[in-house]
Amino acid sequence: MKNIVIFASGNGTNAQCIAEYFKDRNDVRIPLLLCNKKNAYVFERARNLGIPSRLVTREEFHSDSLTEELLRIPADLIVLAGFLWLVPEKMVRAFPKRIVNIHPALLPKYGGKGMYGDRVHEAVIEAKEKQSGITIHLIDEEYDKGTTLFQATCPVEVSDTPDSLAQKIHQLEHRHFPEVIDRYLNTL
């Protein structure tokens, strides 16, 4: 049995897609979802999916106790599904090549601190890029610098707005993120 722990910060559509993808599997479970925003809708999604969830504070996130809890579970893979905080170095060291993130652009472009959500889509449109997409990558000690596991693209039309581009990106995320996680789990 492989355990996936999900970290989220907001609405939780990616977390829900991942949970639904694995729900009928006997070899994978999601024992915990952590979120850093008290009123995030992802808590409601977790309740509806029967996934234990709780709030994680910045202080706890940077403490040894959270890393120790994840080691006790034990978390085979930590998935950042829209989670915006930089993962502390001690957690990265405790879970080498076992923390996966999804970014709403084609890294290495449009990554780094502060590049998330509409900020990314606005930058892509402003630069008049012909395509955007998603990057699923491993986490290291820097924002969006870890090894790329997968990328998928979509066209950026002249008529695109940050909202319309976000919709295209969400479709790519929902289609590919669970499958890439599944393939990567098989390598661990």
Would you call 100 helix, strand, or coil by DSSP? strand
Q: Among candidates 80, 68, 186, 66, which has minimal Cα distance to 138?
A: 80
Decide: residue 132, CB within 10 A, 0-12 exposed, 13-18 middle, 19+ buried. Answer: buried
φ/ψ (deg, to 5) at 102: -120, 135
Active site residue 103: yes
Q: Determine contact, residues 34/59, Cβ cutoff 8 Å.
A: no
| Pairing outcome for strands 2-8 and 53-55 | unpaired
Rounded to the nearest 5 percent, the helix, strand and coil shares of the chain are 40, 25, 40
Q: How many angstroms separate the CA atoms of 124 and 7, rounded? A: 26
A 10 A CB-CB count for 101 gives 22
Please tell me which residue in 103, 121, 137, 176 is annotated as part of the active site.
103
Question: Annotated catalytic sites, by residue?
Answer: 103
